[in-house]
Structure 1
Amino acid sequence: MPRLTRGSSLALLGASGHGRVVADTAHAAGWSGIAFFDDRFPALRANGPWEVRGGSEALFETLGAYDGVLVAIGDNAARLRHHLRLREAGALIATIVHPRAWVSPHSRLGPGSVVMAGAMINIGAEIGEAVIVNTSASVDHDCVLGDGVHVSPGAHLAGGVTVGEGAWIGIGASVRHGIRIGAGTLVGAGAAVVRDLPPGVTAIGCPARPLNRT
């Protein structure tokens, strides 16, 4: 799938606070004609300065009217589910990078992903589809992030880290070089991950330890 990074019109699915940040990032990156779609319409008609034009089904009915489409939902499972549905419908999936972020030209960034202001993605990193690399987060060399991952603001992944599909790295967390984090795992805010984590757990603390299996 081609990486569409700029166009004249952009539709965003999900008019939340996270969606507002995505829209602001897209505007900074040169997108115009930004509009939201959210199933709370018509009760919800605006998200910040941007119009909410309809629910999710209205977006699917008007896909051809937009140069790019992106799911702006913070919840990993919901974001990836809607992203895959849009991809199957033939939508032109956008990839958005803030002009004050750094994405190495020798890395790979999947469609539907967003890189916020101050974030860094270094050489050899492979970022899947519908991934969020949030404000001032860093993904160092040769990391591999599965589809639907969220690296929260101020979180840092050292080189060679692997993060499974749908995992969430909490705000301010740090992950040691070469660590593997399983699919669906939640790393708590401020945690320090120094050992591999299995899928589907919540891990907190310094060093991070799993609380439970989901």
Structure 2
Amino acid sequence: MNIYGASGHGKVVFDILKSRNIQIDAVFDDNQEIQKFLSFKVTHKPNEDQLKIPSVLAIGNNVIRKQVARRFTGMISEAVSHASAIISDNIKMAAGTVVMPGAIINAGSKIGKHCIINSGAVVEHDVQLQDFVHIAPNAVVTGNVTIAEGTQVGTGASVIPGVKIGKWVSIGAGAVIIEDVPDFAVVVGNPGKIIKYLNE
């Protein structure tokens, strides 16, 4: 398998693959200045044979991850998870998603493409995460929550049951979300309050 992204996030993806005894064939990055990633020489222009091997987009920024996914011509890997993650058999998880060490995903949840369920995060039962969502370390998304494309739930944040969160929302670290959140909102605090809107 290939890793696309020679950054800190890529190192965590490397550990995920290592925990599953998955061989890493190559590491790609667009940044010409990055020449080495751990013990790998970084490839800046993958060849046709390399593009036939499944790749994980190891890019933490949701916007950039979507941009790369749109133009990447290679094969995207199935979802990958660290061996220490606890994942129900009764979930659906789309291609490109990564699940970090110690994360929990419970029954009935549906996870979209290229999501990140970060270290120690909890995704409870019947949660719906659309594409490119990032649930940051130790965040808790409780049952029956829906989160639209590109939203980031910050470190240690909590979302109460049944809440609907719009697309490309930014939820601050430690925030407590007790009501629905519209698209492009930036929310902080306990209880969560909208402080501004992001540029669409």
After the TM superposition, which residues 1-214 of structure 1 pair with which residues of structure 2 at under 5 Å, given as runs?
Answer: 10-41=1-32, 43-47=33-37, 49-55=38-44, 58-59=45-46, 61-64=48-51, 66=53, 68-86=54-72, 89=73, 91-214=75-198
In the other structure, the counterpart of 1:7 is none
TM-score, length-normalised on structure 1?
A: 0.87
AA matched with 1:116 = M
TM-score, length-normalised on structure 2?
A: 0.93
Query: 1-side partners of 2:74 and 2:25: how far apart?
Result: 19
For the 8 Å contact 1:12–1:71, the answer to whether it is kept is: yes
The aligned length equals 198
After TM superposition, give the deviation of residue 59 of structure 1 in Å: 2.5
* Cα deviation 1:147-194 (Å, max 9, x = unaligned): 000000000000000011000000000000000111000000000000
In the other structure, the counterpart of 1:5 is none
For the 8 Å contact 2:158–2:175, the answer to whether it is kept is: yes
Secondary structure at the aligned position of 2:46 is classed as helix
For the 8 Å contact 2:128–2:147, the answer to whether it is kept is: yes
Percent identity of equivalent pairs:
34
**CA-based RMSD:** 1.5
After TM superposition, give the deviation of residue 64 of structure 1 in Å: 4.3
AA matched with 1:82 = V
